[in-house]
Structure 1
Amino acid sequence: MRIAVTTPTGNVGRHVVAALVRAGVRPRVLLRDPGRLAPGLHEEVDAVRVDQYDADAVAAATRDIDALYWVDPSTASADPLADYARATAAVVRAVTENRIGRVVFQSSVGAEKRHGAGEIDGLAHTETALDATGVHVTHLRCGYFFTNLDLQLDAVRAGRLHVVLPLDQPMAWVAPRDIAEVAVTRLLSDAWSGRCVQAVHGPADLTWREVAEILTAATGRPIDVERITDDAMHAQLRDAGMPDGMADAVLGMSTGLREDFVPEQPRTVRTTTPTTLAAWAYDHLRPLIADGG
């Protein structure tokens, strides 16, 4: 089976690549800088230098591919939804032109809203565009990544996280490695067809209060969480260097799922994955905090 993987050095993609290699597959990996691949991996993959916004390059890199793991590339521009649209156009052309049989797309809980969820709207656009091609596609509706906490290391070290969601509102939290496991099983399986939506919810829905308690126990440092206003969060994002459009899109991912949002897929044994936030925080976050003093 010929499988292509985008963002192969990302939080999920690197686990997808490693699992495929262990399964005996030599994946074709598409990335801007092949030098970022992990040592020893070059001998196990076919690396192609690709800008995912370049439709010509994506189409050329995915010729003769049976299955594709597609992740819309990250963006930090003033118009992130326009960037998502460009990436979507590239994958649609590749799937159509190369008659790729199966696509597993890394989407997000909230994409079912289609509009009003900030940056997630870009993922919703990719979903609908892939659906229109008629390709066999699985949309992975992923919960909130544990690794999003890596972006808040300074706040974790300071012992106070700032959020705009109600502190007692539960949401799905998931380990990227678990998302990769679900993705790889889909990529290697021919037991599904048509349009599928597969939620990946992690082991439990957690409130931010519960997250703070878990992080405190796992890191050995007291960590609290405070709800702040939307304007205050927007100012923090701008102070971090985000242009207005990007800050709006990032903030919208929270505000769009804050009021009366119910995920399309309820939590079931099929959507529940095993890695707990406590285990991940102890193994991954605790050393990072210790290294930072």
Structure 2
Amino acid sequence: MIVVTAPTGQIGSQVVQDLLKADAPVRVIARDPARLAPGVAERVDVVQGSHGDPAVAAALEGADAVFWLVMADPRATTIDDAYTGFTRPVLPSLAKAGRVVGISALGRGTPVAARAGHVTGSLAQDDLIAATGVPYRALTMPSFMDNVRRQATPIKEQGILRGPYVPDLPLPTVATRDIAAVAAGLLLDNTWTGFEEVPVIGPEDLTWTEIAAIVADVLGRPVRYEQTPPDVFKADMQRFGSSGAIAQGLLDMALAKNNGLDHVTPGIPRTPTTFRQWCLDNLA
């Protein structure tokens, strides 16, 4: 049995579909099972609840494999609460699983990793899980291409992409469908052991100026990138519902990316989906 957490999210939902295509037995842990994709509930074992619930811990224990994704609570009072604090209640159950595949981030070993907000929390969580001795693969990623979809309204109405990133700094991105494919492959493979980080990185590094130009070309309308000042970005995150700590964590992560957090060692394999293809398939 393969257990999938966050099965209604943009990554988890695609992991579920990939596993079902392989005819794997799947159990999902969902706060709201009604949000599962059509036809999924009839093909999987559904456990309703959140990660800290006793029923959820029981659902993890003894699984052949677990897909572990923490969707950081935007109201959390600290980054630690959002990641390691969220994971600790079920750590004994995770330790008894056959193997675990988790969603994490690039940055380990960089000078800015210790103050990189959500990335720092993700890396600490990886250490916590790995310390149990359970076979663990942490998928380490840059920013997701899919996050651009959140700006569909300003793109459509104002022709603007906004963010805290330096306009002309090339940065890697990755499509969530490629993340899901890598995760599903590891969940289905019972031959690996130990702890490793597995970089999952798209095929090209692009500046945000180039990203805006690709969006403009695909949509056939003018689109430009506008860098958001740090204080405005944090205030916007709080206005959208994040606590002060989570908003600061998002800002710290962005500033760390501006300062080399997502540096990629040459020669690392890249995933297939280009940003242009993602735009054609999803944004247009």
TM class by shorter chain equals over 0.9
Give the alignment's TM-score, normalised by structure 1: 0.89
Give the corresponding residue for 1:87: 86
Counterpart-to-counterpart distance in 2, 1:149 and 1:4: 29
- Measured in 2, the distance between the counterparts of 1:28 and 1:44 equals 9
Match of 2:60?
A: 62
Distance 1:275 1:169 in 2: 21
Q: In the alignment, which residue of structure 1 is the partner of 2:233?
A: 233
Q: Does 1:21 align with 2:33?
A: no
CA RMSD of aligned residues (A): 1.8
Q: Residues 32-53 of structure 1, C-alpha deviation per residue, up to 9 Å, x if partnerless?
A: 0111111111221111112113
Please name the residue that 1:43 is paired with: 42
The aligned counterpart of 1:290 is none
| Structure 2 residue matching 1:139: 3-state secondary structure | strand
C-alpha contact 1:112 1:124 (8 A) present in aligned 2: no
Retained in 2: the 8 A contact 1:80–1:119?
no
Letter in 1 for 2:117: G
Q: Which residue of structure 1 aligns with residue 194 of structure 2? A: 194
Q: Show the 5 A alignment for 1:89-128.
A: 89-96=88-95, 99-110=96-107, 114-128=113-127
Give unpaired runs (5+ residues) of structure 2.
none
Equivalent residues of 2:162, 2:226 under 8 A apart? yes
Aligned identity (percent) is 35
TM-score (norm 2): 0.92
Distance (Å, rounded) in 2 between the aligned partners of 1:207 and 1:185: 30
Conserved? CA contact 1:50–1:61, under 8 Å? no
Deviates more, 1:201-210 or 1:253-262: 253-262
CA drift at 1:160: 1.3
3-state DSSP class of the match of 1:115? Answer: helix
Name the residue aligned to 2:151. 152
Deviation at 1:94, TM superposition (A): 1.4
Q: Which piece of structure 1 moves more, 195-204 or 184-193?
A: 184-193
Asked whether the 8 Å contact 2:61–2:94 carries over to 1, the reply is: no
Question: What residue number does 2:283 align with?
Answer: 285
In structure 1, the gaps of 5 or more residues are: 287-293
Tell me how far apart the structure 1 counterparts of residues 89 and 76 of structure 2 sit (CA, whole Å). 20
Displacement of 1:267 in angstroms is 4.7
In structure 2, the partner of 1:74 is 72
